[in-house]
Each structure stands twice: as C-alpha cells, then as structure tokens.
Amino acid sequence: MTFPAFFTQAPRIALHDPLAQLLGASDDGRIEYGYEDAVRLAGHSCPTVAGAWLMTVKALRALYPDSLPERGNILVEFADSATNGVTGVIANVVSLVTGSTTDTGFKGLAGRYDRRQLLAFDQDLPGEIGFTRRDTGASVVVSYSAQGVPPAPAAMPLLQKVLSGQANDSQKQEFAQIWQDRVRRILEAADLPGLITIQPRRTAAQAH
C-alpha cells in the first residue's frame, strides 16, 4: 500500500501519553501522529478527514503552546449529534489523537488513566468542536470550512460516472487523482483564513 506523498507533509503532532509510558508502549510517553494515521483509521482520505485532522492539531497546539498535549486528559465536545452527517467520522479522528472516548475507552487503573466520558455530543457550543484541558480548564472551540478550497469542476461529474458504473479505468484514476489533489490543497492551506476557525472559550468551571 502506497499513500500519496503529501500525507507525510501534512502538519504532525506529538503528545504525551502517561498510560503508554506506564505500560511500556513508549519509554518516555511520547507518541507522534500524522495525517496518514487518520487515513488508516478512517479507511479513506477526504476533505472531512483532512478537516478533522487540522481542527484537532490546531486546537491542541493552541491549548498547549509550550508543552506536549496530554493524551487522555482532554475533554472533547461536539455541537452535533454523533449520528448527524459526518460527525462520527470526525469524532473518530479526534478520539484517535486525544484518546478521549464516550464509554468505550480504557476504564483506568486505580482511578487513574480513565479514557471514558471524555467525548460528548449535542453540546451548546459557539462552533463545531470544543477542546478543554482537564488540568487547567483552558478551552477552545474550532470550526472548519473547506469552501475556500473548492473541488475541481470535473470532480462531481466523474464521481457520478464512477458510482453509476459508467466510468472507465482512466476516468476512475482521474477522479481519484483530483479528489486527493483537493485534500492536498486543504492540508497545505492549513493557515488560510476561514479554513480553520479557533477561538478561546470560557467554561462553566472558569466562570466560578
């Protein structure tokens, strides 16, 4: 299996996972993730997966400007329900990086390292996803819009041909190439104004 070269050129992020360190999966607890890991999880690469990746990376960099994010100690909240649109796909990518889960994650050891109840949906947020540090209460909300990186004009007509079984091998290859070209452009435009919107958020805990 060969991934497109641009996968490894997308923004990467390293985190510290104390559970991984405790159990010897990483001698210093450091785990690095790249876009290719999100693709392996999702089973495909698309604008949604790219957006989920960029939102997660940018949110964690904003919350931890001077240190590695602590995997397993981040509360993640979604404005949408888990089954609405592509929210589930995005949540899977976020969960991969943060370790946060609903009730399916690791149950912990002696009251520590519990990864459950750190992922919530249907929350009142001024954006798509909220990320909150459980140690300091610092919180940000992020949103994603790919409108600034539009698809090639031929993308949808080719996709319709592929899905209807009318596309030949050349057209299938062309579609795959222009589809991934848009993903590449999205990842390369990570700092494009409006692509990823991030803002600080005052939580209820901070209000008190």
Give the tens place of pLDDT for each residue, 23-42: 999 999 999 999 999 999 99
Percent of the chain with pLDDT over 90: 91
With a CB cutoff of 8 Å and minimum separation 6, the contacts of 5 are none
| Token pair listed for 130 | 């909220």
The pLDDT tens digits for 85-103 are 999 999 999 999 999 999 9
45: Cα within 13 Å, side-chain hemisphere: 26
For the segment 163-192, the average pLDDT, to the nearest whole number, is 97
pLDDT of residue 205: 56
* Residue 206 clears pLDDT 70, i.e. is over it: no
pLDDT of residue 111: 83
Distances (CA, A) of 67 to 14, 76, 101, 105: 10, 19, 23, 25
Amino acid at 171: Q
**Buried b / exposed e along 150-173 (16+ C-beta atoms within 10 A):** eeeeebeebeebbeeeebeeeeee
* Residue 208 clears pLDDT 50, i.e. is over it: no
Residues in a beta bridge with 33: 13
CATH class of 5-148+191-207: alpha beta
* Residue 80 clears pLDDT 80, i.e. is over it: yes
Percent of the chain with pLDDT over 70: 97
- Domain map (residue ranges) of the chain: 5-148+191-207, 150-188
Cα separation, 157 vs 179, whole angstroms: 12
With a CB cutoff of 8 Å and minimum separation 6, the contacts of 203 are 132, 137, 139
With a CB cutoff of 8 Å and minimum separation 6, the contacts of 192 are 148, 149
Q: Mean pLDDT over all residues of the chain?
A: 95
* Residue 75 clears pLDDT 90, i.e. is over it: yes
pLDDT of residue 202: 80
The pLDDT tens digits for 112-141 are 889 999 999 999 999 999 999 999 999 999
